[in-house]
Each structure stands twice: as structure tokens, then as C-alpha cells.
Chains A and B, each alone.
Chain A
Amino acid sequence: MNLFLTIVLDGLIEASWLFVVALGLTLVFGVLKILNVAHGSFYALGAYVAATTVTLVAAHSLPPAAGFVAMLISVALIAAAVGLLLERGLLKMFYGRDEVVLLLVTYAVFLILEDTTKLIWGVNPIYATQPYELFGNVEFAGLYYVGYDLMLIPAAALIGLAVWYGLNRTVSGKIVLAVIHNEEMSVSMGVRVNRVYAAAFAFGVLLASIAGALTAPKISMQPGLSSDVIILSFAIVVIGGLGSVEGAAVGALLVGLARSAAVHLMPQIELFMIYLIMAAVLVFRPEGLFKRETARRI
């Protein structure tokens, strides 16, 4: 019973940050129809920026709470700037080209960012553990958990709800949905699609970076971080259905739980498990669990 609870809790913690990353990926795909290979790099960027901020704040002997807040703010600012810059400065030039070409453009961005982070932060692991003690330790049904980890679950749920509300209940969200649904129609209705593109991409980058910042205190930042994260979030959005918010949530839960179950029961099959789920979903429901099949033009 205890083992079961541990698996579920660990799975939820894992699922929470994965969900935030995957949410960004799925939104960018929904709006821009780009499968963003560089998405993992934005996660890594967020984690690195967070580490720097936290270390700076700690060096000025400010409390860890200040470090936590400062880290979120600095990451949000940098992510928005990087996202807008990339979309307006680079991706814009490739719209209308083949899907695969756009994918390779983001692959190039991934390569560039990979080395840029190495140039700025070096290749040795860096840490930002100060905020990790912020919420103390929590006893939960006989299990001891770090409060920070548990806090990630409501944080991710909150982000998910906010995005869902923003998309479905506000005017600008409905405009985004309209662009996702039919871009040509939106243009003829007077929607400035290029602005929606820029905003959606920047928001996707923001989500990935925030997830990076939130997990930064838990992990060690080192090269290779981004390629592992992107491969997990790919699996999640494919399981859930590309472009679907609910799908990202369910996909993240599945992957998170599968991962923690594998870690506790059969550690040797961890990565294997996730891709097996992904392949199985693709075989039986290629559009993902949460996406309706669309009629094709002949």
C-alpha cells in the first residue's frame, strides 16, 4: 500500500512539471503547426537562468523566498524576450515551408542553444538548492516528502487551469482557438495572425522555461538536460494528441505515473516503458487520445 502511494505521489510530482513543459509544446504546435525540437532547450534555459538568479540572491544573503520569486520573474522576462526574438527574427522567415523544414529549423535552434548554454554556464553541473527547503518537509500518510516537490502539483494544476480558462473563456483565447482551427478564415475575419503566432510562441517558451525554473532546485543543471526533456515531452504530446491541452494533461499523468512505477518496480525498463506507451497509442489512435480525426482534403 505504501509502495502504491509512493508511486502515485512520485508520479504526480513528475507529471506536474512534465505537464507544464508539454503544455508549451502542444500550444506551439496547435497555433504554429511547428513541432518544436528546441523546446527542451527552453526548459534548460529556464533552469539555468533560475540557478544564476538563485545564486545571486543567496550571495546577497536575502531569504530563499526572495530567491524563489526573483527566479520566476527573471525566467519569465528572459523567456518572453527569447521567444519573441526567435519567432520574429527567425521562424517568421520559414512559414509556408514544408513541415519537415520547419522542424529542422528548430533542430538548428536546438543545436545553437545547446552550445550557447555551454558557453555561458560551462559544462560542469550547477545547483540552485536554496528554494528547495522553502516549504519544509511534509509527512503524508506515513511518507516523508519535501514540501517543494508536493507544491509542484498544485502549481502545475493552477497553470493548467489558467491556460484552459484563458483559451476557452477570454476573447484573446478564443482568437487563438480560431487561429488553431482555421488560419485562413481567421485572417479574413481580421485577426492579426502574425501577432498570435508571436504571442503563442513566446508563451510556449515561457511555459517551458517556467517548468525549468520550478524544477531547477530539484536537479543538477548540466549539458544533455534539454535532449532528455524534449524526448519526454514529445512522448506526452503524441500520447495526448498534438495541440490538445487536455491531452497534454493526460499524457503527462500517464508518462509521470509510468515513469515512477517503472522506477520503483522495474528500473531497467523506464525509458523503454514511455516509448512503448507512445508507440502503442500511435498504433491504435494515431491522432492521440484526445484529438478527433480530421477530414482530409483530396
Chain B
Amino acid sequence: MARPNLFLMLLPVIAITLLGRALPTWTLSLAAIAAANALVALGIVVLARTGNVSFGQGLFFAAGGYGVALIANHFGLTDAVAQMLIGAVCGGLLGLVIGPLIARYSGIFFGMLTLALSMVFYGALLKTTVLGGSDGFNVGRPTLFGIHFVDTREADFMLYAIAVVTTGLAAIAAKILFQSEFGLASLAVRENNLRVEYLGISANRVIATNFVIAAAFAGASGAFALMAQRHIDPQFAYWTTSGEFVFIAVLAGYQSVSAVFVASLALELVRSFSNLYLPNTWQLVLGIFLLAVILFLPRGIGSLWSRERRKTGDSAATPAGEGAAT
């Protein structure tokens, strides 16, 4: 396997960031939210390579958001880059606590436990009056390297750039990770964790590490969602929020990193267009869209362009039981 060329991978990130100068304002914020959501979904894909799907990424999403919001309000820290980092650290630290505990579980139990934990957090947030209870609270505008953005278009572009660069860097890191020894061990854990143990690798540690990565991604994304909305409430941790992230991951399929971004963008587009034209039925459209993708593109949107990979890494790149469907 050839080592990935770092420069070649950085190019699209730079290009997409610069493209933001040419995009109309409404696409700018839409693309920014899509990029940030893609970051959480990317974490789910990272974790899914060990065969486990988390239905509680909203937990880390909310942890990142609340952590950043509290620090911003108490210490006046408004720098966007610092906020993203703090969000990732908050999510990652929580993941570090939960990951080793949860790594023992597999399949549906893993999913249910992550869901339960995020709902415990949601329930706790709902009743914590110091944090605004169900209403949440507001935070100020983010700044970047000491610059205050007065012009809304400039502020939108700043957020867009932050989201695209963060998700882009995370995607590159994920790509490198996937081809590393550790990334391949993760795939092996999905295929058969007992055999991995026989080979002298701790399957639980592999799962826990991937879990922490996914949690950090979700935390950073939560920090971004906070910056974009300038408001936070317990809805960040609700199960439908987590469900949407899994939705993006499955839409993308587990084989291509760029597909996650495309899937997230597709979801945001479908959502905002149906919001615009069918204001009361956007969930209906979303549901039909999801069914159509699962039915007609069983390997996700990514299968549209990463077809040639199927031969080399077939059993590795798709979840079990999907082979017959195509």
C-alpha cells in the first residue's frame, strides 16, 4: 500500500475553503453546517470499522458544545480555533472515561448503551437550571486570532473556513489512520475480535481508542454548532440528533472518507430545500430519501466513485452481510 501523499490530500481542502469566497451566502452557512455534521459522522465511520455503531454521539456533541459555551461565558474565550480545540478536548476526555467501559460490548448492546448514556446526559441537562435547563443559554460571537467580524458575510466565511479546514484535516488524519497498522487492526476486530486477541492485540483497547477519536470529532463538531447557532440547549444530546449522525454515516457508506462530506451536504440540501418548499413534510422527504439510498445504493453514496476499490478491499470495506445485496 502506497503511503498517502499529504500534499495531494491537502489540495482539495484548500480548494474547497477558497471556493467559499465565490459561494453565495446561503450556501456558505449550509455547507459549513454540513461540514461540521460530517465531522461527527466521520467519527462514527472510524468507530464503525471496529464493527460498533454508536447511537449516542450526541453525548460528545453536547459535551463539546457545553464545555466551550461555559468556558466562553466564564473566561471570555471567543477564539474560534481555540473553541474547536476545547470542544475536541471536552469530547475526547469524556470519551476517554466512557470508551474503556463500553469497549466490552458489541453489536446492538454497544449501540443501546451509547444511546442510554447520551439520554442520561440529556435528562441531566434538562434539569440543570444553572445551565438554563431545557432553554439552554446564549454565547457571544466567535472571533478569530483577535479579529472581530462585524460584516455577517465575513463572519459566515470565517465559520465556513473553520468547519471545512477542521473536517478536512480530520478526514486526512482518518485516511492516514485507516491505512496504518492500527487502522487495519480495527478492521480485524470487526471481522473477529477473538482472533485479534490471539494475535496479541487488545481488541478492547483498539475499540476504546477508536471511540475516543470519534468522541473528539463529535466534541469539535459540537463546538462548531455552538459557534454557528450562538446558542446551546439539551437538544444537542437528544437521540434524534445522534440518529441524524448515524444517518449521514450510513448514507455515506463505510468505505470513502470524502463520501461522508458529500452525504452530509446532500442531507443538508434535501433538508433545506424541503424545508423551503414542503415546510411541514421535510422529515417525510428525508425518510424517503434515506430509504431510497439504502435500497438503491446499499454501499452508500461512496460506492458511486470508489468502485475500483471494491475488488481489493471488498470484505474489509463493507459491513457484513451486504455483499449479496449488490
State the A residues within 8 Å of B (CB).
35, 37, 90, 93-94, 96-101, 103-105, 107-112, 114-116, 118-119, 227, 231, 234-235, 238, 242, 268-276, 278-279, 282-283, 286-287, 298
Contact = CB atoms under 8 A, between A and B. Distances in A.
Q: Which 3 A-B pairs have the closest CB atoms?
A: A111-B287, A271-B123, A272-B123
Given A115-B283, A116-B284, A282-B105, 12 more contacts: A90-B291, A97-B294, A99-B107, A99-B108, A104-B294, A108-B291, A115-B280, A270-B123, A275-B116, A275-B117, A282-B116, A286-B105
B123 A107 contact: no
Interface string B293-326: 0110010000000000000000000011110110
Interface string B75-91: 00000000000000000
A271 B101 contact: no
Given A108-B291, A111-B286, A275-B123, A227 B192 contact: no
B111 interface: yes
- Helix, strand, loop or mixed for chain B's interface? helix
Most chain B CB within a 10 A radius of its CB, from A105, A107, A235? A107
A172 B120 CA distance: 40
Size band of the interface chain B makes with A: 35 or more
Given A227-B240, A231-B119, A97 B247 contact: no
A103 B288 CA distance: 15
Given A111-B290, A275-B116, A104 B321 contact: no
A68 B180 CA distance: 64
Nearest to B274: A115
Most chain A CB within a 10 A radius of its CB, from B109, B280, B287, B324? B287
B266 interface: no
24 contacts: A90-B291, A97-B298, A98-B321, A100-B53, A101-B298, A101-B319, A101-B322, A104-B247, A105-B294, A114-B283, A115-B282, A119-B284, A235-B116, A269-B123, A270-B123, A271-B122, A271-B123, A272-B120, A275-B123, A278-B112, A279-B113, A282-B105, A286-B109, A287-B109
A93 B295 contact: yes
A111 B283 contact: yes
B224 interface: no
Contact of B287 (A97, A109, A283): A109
A37 B234 CA distance: 21
A35 B246 CA distance: 15
A99 B107 CA distance: 8
A285 to B, nearest CB: 10
B115 interface: yes
A238 B116 contact: yes
A112 B247 CA distance: 14
- Helix, strand, loop or mixed for chain A's interface? helix
A134 B118 CA distance: 41
Contacts, number: 127
Given A97-B322, A111-B290, A298-B194, A282 B109 contact: yes
Contacts of B192: 298
Contacts of B174: none
B281 interface: yes
B127 interface: yes
A115 B108 CA distance: 27
B290 A108 contact: yes
B139 interface: no
A283 B113 CA distance: 8
A18 to B, nearest CB: 16
B171 interface: no
B239 interface: yes
A279 B322 contact: no
A272 B237 CA distance: 13
Contacts of B100: none
Contacts of A100: 53, 111, 246, 250, 319
A234 B119 CA distance: 11
A108 B288 contact: yes
Given A231-B239, A242-B108, A272-B120, A96 B288 contact: no
B109 to A, nearest CB: 5
Contacts of A118: 280-281
A111 to B, nearest CB: 3
Contacts of A97: 294, 298, 321-322, 325
B265 to A, nearest CB: 19
A274 B116 CA distance: 9
A274 B117 CA distance: 11
A85 to B, nearest CB: 14
Most chain B CB within a 10 A radius of its CB, from A104, A234, A271? A104
A235 B201 CA distance: 34
B105 A35 contact: no
Given A96-B325, A275-B119, A275-B123, A112 B287 contact: yes
A234 B63 CA distance: 23
B124 interface: yes
A105 B298 CA distance: 12
A119 B288 CA distance: 16
A107 B290 contact: yes
A109 B286 CA distance: 10
Most chain A CB within a 10 A radius of its CB, from B107, B283, B319? B283
